[in-house]
Amino acid sequence: MYILELSLEENEQLDALLRMLMEKYSLPCEEAFLLRVRAYAAQLPQRILHSLSEFKYRENHNGTLVLRGFHIDDSGIGETPAATSKEIDEGSARREGFMLMLLISQIGDAFGWSCQRDGALINNILPLKSHEKEQLSTGSMIDLDWHTEEAFHPFRADYLALMCLRNIEQIPTVIGSIQDINLDEETKKLLFEPRYLFQMDKNFENEHLKSTLPQSVLFGDATAPYVKIDPSFMQAVPGDEQAGEALRQITLEFKKSLYELVLQQGDVVFLDNYRVVHGRKAFPPRFDGTDRWLKRVNITSDLRKSRVLRQHHGSRVIVIN
């Protein structure tokens, strides 16, 4: 992991840029802005542009880059919302939404899933009352087990960005990198073979992806593999003891390598969804407008790979049903 601390001058530069954009555009996810976002992003501080570009092309920092110290006005963002919806998620904390879209334009395109907040490109991550004991990003009282985001789906994000708007009680995000773990050659070889069943999240079931064939856990280069894993929602093909043992092994190794990152207000963490897993520790929610609040963006390097499930070439929403 690497943390880039933003300076006062960089914050002033960002503030001027964001002011201009907020006068010109109403929402950070509107098409007119997104069509020009890369051009505007050229006005971001050079250090930010360089670190994002290196993160993408050098695959450095073991898959985790944090921009720290973006100034957020706590009263300006308002209370932590008590509900989620496309309108609330994309419309709350507008200034911070513009900042997120500028940043992520350097590593790819934002996309949404129709089954998640109706395809919102920005998702609020906050505790919801009815989800307290759920294995969901909107849960709270139980640990959110570590995972690759949408590990079961071929069109899952290449990267995730999480911006912290509020985290008063200092709840840690948990991160582990494939580059920090050791696997013996035999285990690695098994994990590279299609011997694993990933349980499809029910919300994502779709006629194009009904039958999930066995897949590998590792993929890409044998010496620096990429990974997709979500131990709570997958298994080796029944009866395949060797594959099961390899899955136990990599799960154990990841567990040993996990570290905690306590996101601070104004932090933006970029997670390489091909190289790191992430989760969140349990916490008692208050539901009084001061709860932990993140904004999440799913980022793809190649919007076209999901064309079969998008209604129009220009749409950024993968339609599940």
- Applying CB under 6 A, the residues found at the interface with ligand AKG are 125, 137, 144, 149, 173, 278, 280, 294, 296
Q: Residue written as tokens 């793809």?
A: 300
10 counts as binding Fe ion under rule CB under 5 A: no
In the bound state with ligand AKG, the residue whose beta carbon lies nearer, of 188 and 280, is: 280
- Residue 140 in contact with residue 82, Cβ under 8 Å? no
Min separation Cβ 104 and ligand AKG, Å: 14
What is the Cα–Cα distance from 89 to 50, expressed in whole angstroms? 29
Q: Output the CA torsion sign for 208, 213, 218, 219.
A: negative
Q: How far is the CB of 85 from ligand AKG (least distance, A)?
A: 17
User: Which lies closer to Fe ion via its Cβ, residue 115 or residue 183?
Assistant: 115
Q: Is 62 left (phi over 0), alpha (psi -120 to 50) or beta?
A: left
Backbone angles phi, psi at 5, to 5 degrees: -90, 125
Q: Which is nearer to ligand AKG, 46 or 232 (CB)?
A: 232
Segment contacting Fe ion (CB under 5 A): 33-41, 149-157, 178-186, 303-311? Answer: 149-157
Query: CA–CA separation, 168 vs 203, rounded Å?
Result: 32
Burial of residue 224 (CB within 10 Å: 0-12, 13-18, 19+) is exposed
Q: Which does 140 bind (CB under 5 to 8 A by kind): ligand AKG, Fe ion, none?
A: none
Q: Considering the complex, what minimum distance in angstroms separates the CB of residue 92 from Fe ion? A: 20
**CB neighbour list of residue 12: distance below 8 Å, 6 or more residues apart:** none
Please report whether residue 230 would count as binding Fe ion according to CB under 5 A.
Answer: no
Close Cβ partners of 170 (under 8 Å, ≥ 6 residues apart): 262
Instruction: Tell me whether residue 86 or residue 278 sits nearer to ligand AKG (CB atom).
Output: 278
Nearer to ligand AKG, 149 or 180 (CB): 149
Shortest distance, CB of residue 50 to ligand AKG, whole angstroms?
Answer: 26
State the binding partner of 52 from ligand AKG, Fe ion, none, CB within 5 to 8 A by kind.
none
Tell me which of Fe ion, ligand AKG, none is bound by residue 144, counting a contact when its beta carbon lies within the kind-specific cut-off of 5 to 8 angstroms.
Answer: ligand AKG
H or E segment and range at residue 31: helix 31-34
Q: 204, 115 in Cβ contact below 8 A? A: yes
Candidates 144-152, 181-189, 195-203, 236-244 — which segment interacts with Fe ion by CB under 5 A? 144-152
Q: Is 149 in the site for Fe ion (CB under 5 A)?
A: yes
Coil, helix or strand at residue 18: helix
**Length of the chain counted residue by residue:** 321
Give min distance, CB of 69 to ligand AKG, in A.
Answer: 19
* Smaller CB separation from ligand AKG, 182 or 232: 232
For ligand AKG, which is the closer residue by CB, 189 or 281? 281
Q: Which spans of this chain sit near Fe ion (rule: CB under 5 A)?
A: 149
